[in-house]
Amino acid sequence: MSSPDPLMPQPPRTAQSTGFRRLFVLLAACVLLLVAAVVTRERFTPAPPAPPEDPLAGVDDPITRSLRMAEPDSTAIKQRWVEEIPNLDVSMLDPTQLETFVRYANAEQCTCGCGFTLAACRAYDATCDASGPRVEALRDSVAKGLVKLRKGLRERPAAER
């Protein structure tokens, strides 16, 4: 077969072959745009936010270093055993009743939302409107013999005995 002569008229293109060609070019352009979008997105992903700046970054005295190393555990503080509740008269309780009262006060949670036990809430916030009446009611109930020790109630820590 011989090559087509450039001087010879070529058969006219059909509308169908022109439509396929346009569709192919459009599809190729879409693929190129999609590849460019993926590459650009990977290249320009934002960096993770920087950690907040430490206000004591330049300070290097022993107290500041100690405070940085001793992160307080709020759960341990809120569950700390409190032996004596401030501003509460427990003189009417005998030793067994006092033990019952102290164990219950260190086991029950305050209802004010602070997360402290009743005893700890009274020790750290003597103005709490929720723990004051509850501690007094607990004391009165123990004094009347309405509250008794039960198994499973929080024990006094070994160091406190």
Q: Where are the domains of the chain?
A: 17-44, 78-160
**20-31: per-residue pLDDT in tens?**
788 888 888 888
26 residue type, one letter: L
Q: What is the pLDDT of residue 91?
A: 92
Q: What is the pLDDT of residue 136?
A: 93
Q: Which pair of tokens denotes residue 66?
A: 């100690």
Task: Give the number of other CB atoms < 10 A from CB of residue 82.
Answer: 19
Q: What is the pLDDT of residue 79?
A: 78
* Chain centre to alpha carbon of residue 22: 57
Count Cα neighbours of 100 within 13 Å in the Cβ-side half-sphere.
19
> Where does 44-156 have alpha helices with state H?
62-69, 74-78, 95-105, 118-124, 131-143
The CA distance from 138 to 96, in Å, is 14
For the chain, list residues with pLDDT below 70: 1-6, 8-17, 42-48, 50-74, 159-161
pTM, full prediction: 0.52
**CB crowding 95-128: b at 16 or more within 10 Å, else e:** eebbebbbbbbbebbbeeebebbbbbbbbbbeeb
Element holding 31 (H helix, E strand): helix 15-43
Q: What is the pLDDT of residue 7?
A: 72
